[in-house]
Structures are given as structure tokens and as C-alpha cells.
């Protein structure tokens, strides 16, 4: 569709040429010999001076309008050439061309001044066409060559043999060159429009395209691009409007399958996660802290009705599992180093008493102990120690072992292979304490990692959704296990979808995420970090992103494409 700004530009050109036509026709003293515009000024009556002033003002204003309307000095220059093309049709004589030539220094002089001012303030070449050359796709094929030649021959017949208009013929030749290299196959009629279509062909070629494959999540409404449009602000980047472009998430071309979703409460984060799970048609595992996920074809498990034994090895050695649990408790309860060591030693003793030998891997598949067994080991050890100091050390960790001997952590009544293989929503909303929720989540994540190593490498088959991510990332061991999963799971065909209102602890996670979706964010700390992360150190990008994400409407996100790293404004489907 012909852009409205090009329509406006051509209306301005027609107005200029008609004004010039009427003014030249009404000159009191006719001109017998063609001369320059300066000779008109010397030989005409007073109204010729008025014509000069009026023409100069209109030409100067037009140059500024074109430069700012298209954010391009190049397009503004092309429109002055188009003015000659209009003149060749409306008033084809030497006087008109001479007048336009005499006015050209003023037109180009004003353009130069505008360019210098914008170049200095924007700290870059003041032309959107030049700044966006990377978006111009060169596409030459045999069909375009043949079609273009046919249309060019028609132009030759019309402009040269019938109308004898060499200027329009040259415009068609230029149009043919542009059609051949940067236009779509169905745009061949533009060649016949000669100079009148050249500015449109160039600006239209600077188009944004997303991957046509993948799952459709919404529509692209804008792309962050170098622009002079927001020339009165402090940034040289702006949101170039895009229409009719679908936003497709093509995971097949992604470096990894990890996705981070960030935004304020109620902005649509969980809805996007559900949309991703429904659209991808992959297996998934959702950690649902608040019981808010309901997805078709999913098996929702109230985990408070089951038990899970954190001491199950699942491929780990007794020493490794003892370390993981002792550090998990240290992170969860903020224990001291001595307490952590004591817990590690007692768990190792319990494994040994149950016949699970660190030095004999054949015993690692034996029935594991429970925390009730650890509590028994600790009580027996407390009776054997000789000093009150040793008794105090054991007593200092006793409350935590008693807490872990909770019924939910003293058995394996849930088949984890079933959980990992199927579409499962783990509902943790009825688990009585946050500490138990945390232990269950970290244990399951570690078991899942072990499961992946046993399963082996694979194509993409599963997503794991971690909602309310700060709940686990705020703990040292939770952050460690999630970071390891983000770094490793791609080769196992797994993607992690991490959802958070906050940006704390996600630096390394973002580096291992090929996709990030940012909903409305209002906290200055989050705005600052996310804007700098997406902006890549560019202050102008940073300002543009900062201004955008704090005012995003619901169902709108700022995101980054994986292939070209374009920063997009997207309206998501199915989100209200």
C-alpha cells in the first residue's frame, strides 16, 4: 500500500509546481529568451520579486518537511528530482527547468543545514536510509529480470517514442534497477511510475521481516530502529511502526530453547507461558506455586498429597547428594559452616549405615535412607559424644533434621519418571511452608537434571516452567541448580521458561536465554537493568527501551529476535 507520507509529499510537489506554473504564466513582462531565475529577477516587475520570495520560502519549507517526514536527506533529494519530473509533465519548457535549477541551491543548502544539525545532535549520519541499510534485502532472480525488461520496454515506448520525455525514461531505468535488486516480484508496475515511485521503492525496501516459520504468538507493532523522527528527544532510536507482520517464535533456529519472561504482577506473564505451552505442543513440567495453572491435556498433581525423598541418589554419589543437601539447608536456613559440615557428616554416616557405600557404586541403587533415619543416626551419635560442646553442636542442627523428617520428605510415593515424561503441573499451593516448597522444587530440579543425563541428548521435546523465579533464585543452591540447567539443557532437547517480577540473580541466566519477553516494568532498578541489557551499552537504545517498557499496555511485550537481534514491540495473541 502506498504510504501516506509519500502521498503527502507528492501533494506538496504538485502544489509547488502548480504555484510555479501560475506565477510564471502571470508574469507582466514576457521573456523572449530563456534565462536563469536571476535574469527574471532583473527583468521582471515587482511581482517577480514576490515570486522569488514565495518560491524560496516554499522550497525551503519543503526541504525541511521532506527531510523530517522521511528522516532522510537522500529521500528529500530524490523528491526534488521528482519535482522536475512533475514539471516535465505539467509545464515542459526551459523556463520552468531553469527556475527550478536556480532554486536548487537554496533547497540543497537548507538540507545541508538540517543534516549538519541532526548529525551533530544525533552523533551519526543523519539519514534513516543509510542507518538502516542492513534491512535492505538484495534479491535478484530470473523472473524479475524478465518482467522488469518487459516493463522497461513499455516505459521506453511511452516516455521516449510517444511523449519524448527523456527525464521520465531515466526514472524508469532507475526504477528498473531498484525493482531488480530490492523490490518484490509483484511491484513491477512501479517501474512505469518513473521518478514518482523511486522514493517509495527505497523506503519500502527498508522493511522488517520476521521468520515465517515457527509458532505465531502475536503481531509486531514496532521495531527499534535508528531514526530522526524523534529528533526533539534525547535518543536517535525510535519505534518504527510495522503493520501486517506476524511475530513467530522459531525455536528450531535458536541457540538454546530457554525463555525469560519479566513483568509486573498481572501484566500477562503466566498467560504467555500457557500460550507457549499450548502452541508448541511439547511435553512440559510446570512448577505452580499458587495453583493458578490450568492447561488442557495436563495432569495436575497436588504434590502436598505425596512424599518425595531428597536423599534418593538418582545417579549421584552419596557424597555428592550429601553435599547438595547440606548446602541446600545452609542456603535455606542460613546455617554456619560448622553446622553445614555436621549435617554433611551425619547424612554420610546414615548412607553408610543403610549399606550405601561411597566407594561401591553397585550399592547406589539400594533403598536410600530417609531423614527419619538421619534423625535416628543423630540421636545415637548424640549419646556417644563425650563433651558438652559436641552435644551442643549436634543439638544446633537437630531442629532442621526434625523439620526434614516431615512426612512429605520421607518416602517416594510419586513416580518421577512419569512426572518428567508427561505433561505435568506440580501444584505446590497446598504445601504448608515455603521451606518445604523450596526443598521439593530444588530436589525435583536436581532429579530432573540427573534424569536428562540418563535419557541422553535429544531434539527439543520438553519445556520446564519455573514461575515466581525469585522464590528459588534467592537461595544460593537454587540459583546454582537453575543456572546449570540453563547452561546444559539445550543438548538434551529441553527449554526452561523462567518467569519473574524481579531481575535479581538473573544475569547469568539471561546470557543463556535466547528469548526474553518484557512486559510492563515500573521499578527503576528493573527498568535500568533491562534497558541496559537489551540496549547493549548503547545509551540511545537504552533511553528508547526505558521509555517504552514502563508504559507497556497489557498483552504488549518488548522482545528480541534470535536471528537478527532486532528489538521488537509485539502485541500478543489470546492475551486480554
CATH number assigned to the domain covering 256-305+416-513: 3.40.50.300
Residues paired with 572 in a beta bridge: 218
Higher pLDDT, 69 or 291: 291
Q: Which of 401, 262, 427, 377 is nearest to 326 (CA)?
A: 401
What percentage of residues in the chain have a pLDDT greater than 70? 88
Name the pLDDT band for 126 (thresholds 50, 70, 90). low
H-state helical runs in 456-555: 470-473, 476-488, 507-511, 524-535, 539-549
Q: How far apart are CA 253 and CA 330, in angstroms?
A: 40
DSSP helix, strand, coil percent of the chain (3-state; round to 5)? 55, 15, 30
Read off the pLDDT of residues 9-61 as tens digits, 9 standing for 90 and up: 988 888 888 877 766 665 544 444 444 444 544 444 445 556 667 777 888 88
Overall residue count recorded for the chain in this entry: 576
What percentage of residues in the chain have a pLDDT greater than 90? 48
Residues paired with 198 in a beta bridge: none
Statement: residue 253 has pLDDT above 70? yes
Q: Which of 122-136, 145-159, 314-328, 473-487 shows the lowest mean pLDDT across its residues? A: 122-136
Question: Which whole number is the average pLDDT over 395-416?
Answer: 88
Q: How far apart are CA 503 and CA 522, in angstroms?
A: 12
Q: How far apart are CA 346 and CA 343, in angstroms?
A: 5
Higher pLDDT, 475 or 240: 475
- Order the strands of the 299-302 sheet from edge to edge: 237-249, 215-226, 567-572, 556-560, 515-518, 259-262, 494-500, 462-466, 283-288, 424-427, 299-302
How far apart, in Å, are the Cα atoms of 181 and each of 75, 152, 205, 206? Answer: 18, 15, 10, 13
Name the pLDDT band for 432 (thresholds 50, 70, 90). very high
Statement: residue 73 has pLDDT above 90? no
Q: What pTM, to 2 d.p., does this model score?
A: 0.75
The pLDDT assigned to 28 comes to 41
Higher pLDDT, 90 or 334: 334
Q: How far apart are CA 426 and CA 420, in angstroms?
A: 11
Q: Which of 122-136, 137-151, 440-454 shows the lowest mean pLDDT across its residues? A: 122-136
Read off the pLDDT of residues 295-338 as tens digits, 9 standing for 90 and up: 888 999 999 999 999 999 988 899 999 999 999 999 999 999 99
Q: Parse the chain into domains and list their residue ranges.
A: 4-129, 135-205, 213-252+536-576, 256-305+416-513, 307-413
SS3 state at 422: coil
**What are the phi and psi torsion angles at 140 (to 5°)?**
-115, 130
The pLDDT assigned to 228 comes to 53
Statement: residue 227 has pLDDT above 70? no
The pLDDT assigned to 29 comes to 43
The pLDDT assigned to 91 comes to 73
Kindly give, in sequence order, each residue whose CB lies less than 8 Å from that of residue 183, ignoring residues fewer than 6 positions away.
144, 190, 201, 204, 205
The pLDDT assigned to 121 comes to 66
Q: Which of 48-57, 78-87, 265-274, 539-548 shows the lowest mean pLDDT across its residues? A: 48-57
Read off the pLDDT of residues 194-224 as tens digits, 9 standing for 90 and up: 999 999 988 887 766 677 788 889 999 988 8
The H or E element containing residue 221 is: strand 215-226
Kindly give, in sequence order, each residue whose CB lies less than 8 Å from that of residue 389, ignoring residues fewer than 6 positions away.
none
Statement: residue 341 has pLDDT above 70? yes
Amino acid at each position: 500500500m502506498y504510504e501516506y507520507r509519500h502521498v503527502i509529499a507528492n501533494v506538496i510537489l504538485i502544489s509547488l509546481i502548480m504555484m510555479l506554473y501560475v506565477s510564471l504564466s502571470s508574469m507582466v513582462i514576457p521573456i523572449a529568451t530563456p534565462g536563469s531565475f536571476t535574469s527574471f529577477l532583473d527583468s521582471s516587475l515587482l511581482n517577480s520579486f514576490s515570486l522569488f520570495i514565495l518560491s524560496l520560502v516554499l522550497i525551503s519549507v519543503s526541504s525541511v518537511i521532506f527531510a523530517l517526514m522521511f528522516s532522510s536527506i537522500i529521500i528529500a533529494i530524490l523528491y526534488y528530482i521528482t519535482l522536475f519530473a512533475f514539471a516535465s509533465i505539467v509545464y515542459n519548457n526551459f523556463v520552468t527547468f531553469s527556475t527550478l535549477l536556480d532554486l536548487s541551491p537554496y533547497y540543497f543548502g537548507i538540507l545541508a543545514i538540517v543534516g549538519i544539525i541532526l548529525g551533530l545532535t544525533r552523533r551519526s549520519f543523519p539519514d534513516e536510509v543509510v542507518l538502516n541499510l542492513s534491512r535492505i534485502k538484495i534479491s535478484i532472480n530470473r523472473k524479475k529480470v524478465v518482467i522488469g525488461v518487459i516493463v522497461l520496454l513499455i516505459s521506453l515506448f511511452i516516455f521516449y517514442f510517444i511523449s519524448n520525455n527523456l527525464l521520465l525514461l531515466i526514472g524508469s531505468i532507475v526504477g528498473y534497477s531498484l525493482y531488480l535488486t530490492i523490490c518484490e516480484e509483484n511491484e513491477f508496475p512501479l517501474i512505469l511510475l518513473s521518478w514518482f515511485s523511486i522514493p517509495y521503492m527505497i523506503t519500502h525496501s527498508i522493511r522488517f521481516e520476521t521468520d515465517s516459520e515457527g509458532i505465531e504468538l502475536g503481531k509486531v507493532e514496532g521495531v527499534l530502529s535508528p531514526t530522526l523522527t524523534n529528533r526533539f528527544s534525547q535518543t536517535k532510536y525510535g519505534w518504527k511502526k510495522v503493520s501486517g507482520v506476524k511475530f513467530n517464535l522459531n525455536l528450531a533456529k535458536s541457540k538454546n530453547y530457554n525463555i525469560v519472561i519479566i513483568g509486573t504482577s498481572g501484566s500477562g506473564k503466566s498467560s504467555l507461558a500457557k500460550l507457549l505451552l499450548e502452541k508448541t505442543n511439547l511435553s512440559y513440567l510446570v512448577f505452580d506455586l499458587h495453583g493458578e495453572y490450568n492447561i488442557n491435556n495436563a495432569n495436575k498433581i497436588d504434590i502436598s498429597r505425596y512424599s518425595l525423598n531428597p536423599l534418593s541418589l538418582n545417579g549421584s554419589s552419596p557424597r555428592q547428594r550429601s553435599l547438595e543437601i547440606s548446602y541446600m539447608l545452609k542456603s535455606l536456613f542460613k546455617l554456619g559452616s560448622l553446622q553445614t559440615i555436621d549435617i554433611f557428616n551425619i547424612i554420610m554416616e546414615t548412607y553408610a549405615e543403610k549399606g550405601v557405600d561411597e566407594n561401591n557404586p553397585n550399592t547406589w541403587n539400594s533403598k536410600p535412607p530417609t531423614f527419619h533415619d538421619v534423625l535416628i543416626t543423630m540421636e545415637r551419635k548424640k549419646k556417644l559424644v563425650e563433651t558438652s560442646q559436641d552435644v551442643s553442636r549436634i543439638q544446633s542442627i537437630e531442629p532442621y533434621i526434625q523439620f526434614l523428617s516431615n512426612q512429605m520428605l520421607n518416602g517416594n510415593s510419586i513416580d518421577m519418571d512419569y512426572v518428567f515424561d508427561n505433561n505435568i503441573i506440580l501444584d505446590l499451593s497446598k504445601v504448608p511452608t515455603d521451606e518445604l516448597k523450596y526443598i521439593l522444587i530444588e530436589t525435583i530440579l536436581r532429579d530432573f537434571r540427573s534424569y536428562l543425563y540418563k535419557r541422553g541428548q535429544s531434539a527439543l521435546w520438553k519445556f520446564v516452567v519455573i514461575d515466581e523465579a525469585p522464590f528459588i533464585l534467592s537461595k544460593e543452591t537454587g540459583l546454582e541448580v537453575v543456572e546449570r540447567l540453563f547452561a546444559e539443557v539445550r543438548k538434551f532437547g529441553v527449554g526452561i521458561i523462567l518467569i519473574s517480577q524481579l531481575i535479581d540473580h538473573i544475569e547469568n541466566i539471561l546470557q543463556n536465554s535466547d528469548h526474553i519477553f518484557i512486559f510492563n516494568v515500573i521499578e527503576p532498578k528493573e527498568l535500568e537493568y533491562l534497558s541496559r541489557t537489551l540496549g547493549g551499552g548503547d545509551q540511545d537504545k537504552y533511553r528508547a527501551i526505558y521509555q517504552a517498557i514502563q508504559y507497556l499496555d497489557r498483552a504488549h511485550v518488548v522482545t528480541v529476535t534470535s536471528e537478527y537481534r532486532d528489538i521488537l514491540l509485539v502485541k500478543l495473541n489470546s492475551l486480554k
